[in-house]
């Protein structure tokens, strides 16, 4: 169990699958239920007791900067990337602002409804620094609307994750919410890289774990996904699982 004090929202992506909406607005600033996805993510960090957040920006970065400056909490540091660093590179670039303790990372397009206990607090309660380099929030692929492919991960009885083998269907999707220990990025170099490499090294060491979400989660990849989520929320057609 840990207490979270810092977090990061990944808001630098191009959001190409959400085009044409993202031609003029960065994906994390698209609205759902009257607030931007970025505001929803930062609200969740604040609700979990996180007082300091890092937000990275690249695509239409001035809009992201202005959105963060308009907030009072959590306190936001915006890192504008000169070149797109992807998820791993963006987090590595932010490490000087995140400290030596485990921290939360939320994708800028992640939107979820909590179950009985907020997901970030469940992750913090389950995080074991001695055993884990990262703990990912997972959702059951069969209960997600939209194109999800063959799934992302399989979960063993101890909660350890592995990637699917060729032609193997994985029952879980990564929900875009996780807790990372900074050592996950040991051995990486500055620059552009994704998180899959560090995750795979953690899998090989038996140190990548997952926790299944007990609330609702929305796949927000395309404009129809966003419209479907808005309609479901407006009509109350949301099942917690």
Give residue-wise pLDDT tens across range 75-124. 999 999 999 999 999 999 999 999 999 999 999 999 999 999 999 999 99
Q: In the beta sheet, which residues pair with residue 178?
A: 105, 136
CA count, 13 A, side-chain hemisphere, 113: 14
Q: In the beta sheet, which residues pair with residue 72?
A: none
CA count, 13 A, side-chain hemisphere, 40: 22
- The CATH T-level fold of domain 6-235 is Spore Coat Polysaccharide Biosynthesis Protein SpsA; Chain A (3.90.550)
Q: Alpha-carbon Rg of the chain, whole angstroms?
A: 17
Q: Give yes or no for a contact between 193 and 86, defined as CB atoms under 8 angstroms apart.
A: yes
Q: 189-215: per-residue pLDDT in tens?
A: 999 999 999 999 999 999 999 999 999
Domain-wise residue ranges, the chain: 6-235
Tell me what pLDDT residue 237 has: 58
Tell me what pLDDT residue 149 has: 64
Q: Is 241's pLDDT higher than 60? A: no
Q: Can you state the angle between helices 119-126 and 37-47, rounded to 10 degrees?
A: 50
Q: 15-70: per-residue pLDDT in tens?
A: 999 999 999 999 999 999 999 999 999 999 999 999 999 999 999 999 999 999 99
The sign of the torsion formed by the CA atoms of 241, 208, 100, 95 equals negative
Task: Report the distance separating Cα 218 and Cα 216, nearest Å.
Answer: 7
Please give the DSSP secondary-structure letter assigned to residue 168.
Answer: P
């Amino acid at each position: 169990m840990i207490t979270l004090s810092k977090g990061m929202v990944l808001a630098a992506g191009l959001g190409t699958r959400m085009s044409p909406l993202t031609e003029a607005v960065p994906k994390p600033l698209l609205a759902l239920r009257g607030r931007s996805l970025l505001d929803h993510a930062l609200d969740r960090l604040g609700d979990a007791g996180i007082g300091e957040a890092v937000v990275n920006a690249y695509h239409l970065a001035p809009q992201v900067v202005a959105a963060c400056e308009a907030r009072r909490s959590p306190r936001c540091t915006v890192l504008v990337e000169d070149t797109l660093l992807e998820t791993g590179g963006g987090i590595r670039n932010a490490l000087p602002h995140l400290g030596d303790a485990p921290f939360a990372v939320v994708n800028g397009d992640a939107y979820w409804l909590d179950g009985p206990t907020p997901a970030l607090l469940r992750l913090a309660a389950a995080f074991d620094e001695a055993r884990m380099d990262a703990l990912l929030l997972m959702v059951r692929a069969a209960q997600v609307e939209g194109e999800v492919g063959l799934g992302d991960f399989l979960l063993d009885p101890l909660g350890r994750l592995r990637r699917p083998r060729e032609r193997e269907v994985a029952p879980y999707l990564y929900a875009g919410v996780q807790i990372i220990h900074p050592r996950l990025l040991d051995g990486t170099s500055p620059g552009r890289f994704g998180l899959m490499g560090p995750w795979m090294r953690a899998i090989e060491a038996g140190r990548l774990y997952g926790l299944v979400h007990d609330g609702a989660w929305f796949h927000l990849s395309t404009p129809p996904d966003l419209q479907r989520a808005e309609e479901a929320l407006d009509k109350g057609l949301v099942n917690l699982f």
